[in-house]
Amino acid sequence: MRPTPATSVIGAVLLFGATACGGPGSAAMGQGTGAIAVEATDTECKVERTEAAAGTIEFTVRNKGGKVNEFYLLGEGDQVLGEVENITPGLTRTFHVQVAEPGTYTTACKPGMRGSGLRGEFTVTGSSAAARSTDEKLAAAVEKYEAYVAGQSDELLTRTGEFVALVKSGKVEQAKALYPVARGPWERIEPVAESFGDLDPMIDGREDVVQEGLAFTGFHRLEKDLWVSGLQPDSAKIADKLLADVTDIVAKAKAVELNPLQLANGSKALLDEVATGKITGEEDRYSHTDLYDFDENYRGCKAAIDALRPALKERDPELVAAIDARFAALDVELDQHRTDGGFKPYTALSRAEVRELTVKLDAVSEQVARVAGVVAT
């Protein structure tokens, strides 16, 4: 996106905001109004319209390929303004996104959830649309959640500093104990924190990022050093870079101006994070502390829903009741794996236990996915 300020468009934190995925064979599918249909395959992404007016935009995305897909809206410098993950083959997802400023945006579909994606342009026209809600309850929700993000950002910086100090002093066992705790605030506000371009993979990228031409740094590089290879000659340098990158992203996250759709989409994005990384055991592949991340993503989802709760109760009390019932069921399932010191290693879970967590997570996700539609009305 060229002229659009970051803070005005981050109302796309689950991006589905306006996008035509470019790439081999991509094509627009016509003109019109209403929801914009997107057909994603393993080799192309067809978007019904590549232009929309500033304001709330609705997309209906269908994965017609054989690989799990992702969909992004990118700003200047590849800043992630919004994203959706875990679009499995045959699945259709409907999203609403608030794009406040006219301009040119970049879109990317990622078949197989790898690479830089199939990219294209999407134009937002008209005059600026207010990203802040005039609804008192929604405005209060945004204010409450922005304060939550600011508080979690401060906590992330403090915990990361403590973790880095332990790594640099060679206190391996203490650093291991603090590792999942230090990551907690990041996981709670991940849709906001990961929206700033390359800062996300530099802080939280797994070793797979090297296949995309990026260096393996951040939390997961130090995780590998602590649990697998032992501290390396450059571990202290990696630790210093992690702290510098976290310091940078904390300043950016605290300056972001959010809107109600961001909260709604972000709550679903956090559950997608669990589904695509934590429930699979891929996120913390060396330490097997994935259940900590699962819990923190889930807490972040609850925080966003709680901020929106007064408005949701007024607009759709039955949805609130359904979400709370699913939360309660997932709480019971997750609590079975807690220990006095945190959580069991992910490798200690049986297939049946993972399946039950997945079922309960899917049930929560199904209801939370409806929140954006309610907020957008």
CA 197-202-204 angle, 5° bins: 100
Compute the distance between CA of residue 193 and CA of residue 254 in angstroms, rounded to an integer.
10
Do 19 and 47 form a contact (C-beta atoms < 8 A)?
Answer: yes
Bridge partners, residue 95, by sequence: 59
Query: Quick one: pLDDT at residue 213?
Result: 81
Ramachandran area for residue 108 (φ above 0: left; ψ -120 to 50: alpha; else beta): beta
User: From the CB of residue 137, how many other CB atoms can be counted at a distance below 10 Å?
Assistant: 16
Q: Quote the DSSP letter at residue 211.
A: G
Sorted by where each begins, the domain ranges of the chain are 6-125, 136-376
Residue type, 353: E
Domain 136-376 has CATH 1.20.1420.20: yes
CATH assignment, 6-125: 2.60.40.420
Compute the distance between CA of residue 55 and CA of residue 34 in angstroms, rounded to an integer.
13
Q: Is 59 helix (H, G, I), strand (E, B) or coil?
A: strand
Least Cα distance to 80 among 185, 192, 4 occurs for 192
Bridge partners, residue 104, by sequence: 123
Query: Quick one: pLDDT at residue 161?
Result: 97
Query: Quick one: pLDDT at residue 33?
Result: 66
Query: Quick one: pLDDT at residue 368?
Result: 96
CB neighbour list of residue 172: distance below 8 Å, 6 or more residues apart? 226, 231
Compute the distance between CA of residue 171 and CA of residue 205 in angstroms, rounded to an integer.
23
Which residue reads 């310091």 in tokens?
A: 247
Instruction: Provide the sign of the torsion angle of the four alpha carbons 269, 50, 114, 101, taken in this order.
Output: negative
Compute the distance between CA of residue 309 and CA of residue 314 in angstroms, rounded to an integer.
9
Do 27 and 46 form a contact (C-beta atoms < 8 A)?
Answer: yes
Q: Quote the DSSP letter at residue 21.
A: -
Query: Quick one: pLDDT at residue 189?
Result: 94
Query: Quick one: pLDDT at residue 81?
Result: 65
Q: For residue 314, what are its two tokens?
A: 């007024």
Query: Quick one: pLDDT at residue 138?
Result: 95
Query: Quick one: pLDDT at residue 227?
Result: 98
Compute the distance between CA of residue 371 and CA of residue 22 in angstroms, rounded to an integer.
29
Compute the distance between CA of residue 15 and CA of residue 9 in angstroms, rounded to an integer.
10
Query: Quick one: pLDDT at residue 9?
Result: 38
Query: Quick one: pLDDT at residue 80?
Result: 66
Whether this model's pTM surpasses 0.85: no
Do 256 and 10 form a contact (C-beta atoms < 8 A)?
Answer: yes
In this structure, are strands 55-63 and 36-40 parallel, antiparallel, or unpaired? parallel
- Mean pLDDT of residues grouped by 10 in the chain (377 residues)? 36 36 41 75 87 80 89 72 78 77 83 83 79 81 95 96 97 97 95 81 90 90 98 98 97 89 90 89 95 96 97 97 97 95 94 96 95 89
Do 297 and 278 form a contact (C-beta atoms < 8 A)?
Answer: yes
Number of H helices, E strands in the chain: 12, 11
Least Cα distance to 260 among 124, 72, 147, 98 occurs for 98
